[in-house]
Amino acid sequence: MRHRGGRGDRSPLGTWFWDIDRMLLLLTMFLIAIGLIAVAAASPATAARYSGEHHKLAPLHYFWRQLLWVAVSMPVLFGVSMMPVVLVRRLALIGAALLIACLALTPFIGVEHNGARRWIGLIVAEFQPSEFLKPVFIVTVAWLLSLKARDPELPTVLITGGMTAAVAVMLMLQPDFGQTIIFCSVWMALLMIAGTPMRVMAGLAALAPAGLIAAYFFYGTARARIDAFLFPGVEGEGASDHFQTDAAHRTITSGGWTGTGPGGGSAKFGLPEAHTDYIFSVIGEEFGLIACSIIAIVFLAIVVRVFVKLLDEQDEFKLLAASGLAVQFGAQALVSMAVNTGLAPSKGMTMPFISYGGSSMIALSIGMGMLLALTRRNPFLTRSPYVVRWGSE
């Protein structure tokens, strides 16, 4: 009992605590806390927007719901982070198969919101298959790419490319152009980290502009958003996207460096989705651009922390899976911030752990739990004089 809570604690909880990346966990909890504050700030604007003559929402309606989702997500995050790597891989493979099937059904049986059919209705809630698919798909692709080390003849680029293309087509049918970009970008990043030959990477990079041009001419959603971004005076479907980016830019800059103070913002009431897609703008208005900069630094610190942790990783699967999850996390945050600041077209992209949403919060908790499990290691193991590192001099 004298070792209980110390480094000598060999209980499952004690082992987990000492082997986990506690700094990565702390940064994650910090983002979740910021998210609750941000949703509380954005909730009155969204509640006013969705209240009607016969249906009035309480000002903090979305905050209390987000608090419930956080309470559900925390056990998920800690539970997944305690899993051994083998179980994480199995969970990913099974989850990817089931969620790809759900994604294929979503355009036909899904619930429509704001012109997009991305959610499947359950008895008491709705869930977004693409959000849950991201972490398990990344781990699955990482596992397939890691098999190349065992069998050099295995066509992993074609296999994973076919899977990514299939997912991209299903996402565009919803439509969800933003998530399509995230899936394709992470796949390209994983190929690069896996050491794919430069001629293959150059060929894929050359296809990217061709894909964007094809999307512009044959995919109406992409064309409308690109037109609205490049040509501000565009009419029709793209006009609403331009209105959103204008409102977001006006909101994020109205608070100056220090903000108007909690509850003091007024521009947020003109935002279409203040609690989800444009919550970063609400933070800018009420807490200032300094707060926005701190949040951006926290996101960067999480990604850098993961890659520094992986510098001496020898396991190919763990290296690829953790890298892919970190890239996805950082890319999603970057796209969300770019949309809020007017540097990218509107994409309907939530900010990780900060935006409101049950599907997003639980899916991100699964992904971060996997990331914590994959980077978990005993820091004293390599320092032991009884452990021999063969091949070292």
Q: Which amino acid is at 75?
A: P
Q: Which of 76-80, 167-171, 342-346 has the highest mean pLDDT?
A: 76-80
* pLDDT tens-place string over residues 311-370: 888 889 999 999 999 999 999 999 989 888 877 777 667 899 999 988 889 999 999 999
Strand-pair category, 126-127 with 111-113: unpaired
Relative to beta strand 116-121, strand 111-113 is antiparallel
Report whether pLDDT(384) > 50.
no
| Residue 231 pLDDT | 66
- The pLDDT mean for the chain works out to 83
pTM of the predicted structure, to 2 decimals: 0.86
Range 195-214 average pLDDT: 81
121 phi and psi, to 5 degrees?
Answer: -80, 135
My answer on whether omega of the bond before 12 falls inside 30° of 0, hence cis, is: no
User: What's the chain's Rg over C-alpha atoms?
Assistant: 22
**Strand blocks (E) in 166-234:** none
The arithmetic mean of pLDDT across residues 37-44, rounded, is: 92
Q: Is the pLDDT of residue 1 over 50?
A: no
Query: Do the bridges between strand 116-121 and strand 126-127 make them parallel or antiparallel, or are there none, so unpaired?
Result: antiparallel
How far lies 181's CA from each of 56, 185, 208, 211, 320, in Å? 37, 6, 11, 11, 19
CA 153 to chain centre: 33
What pLDDT does residue 209 have? 78
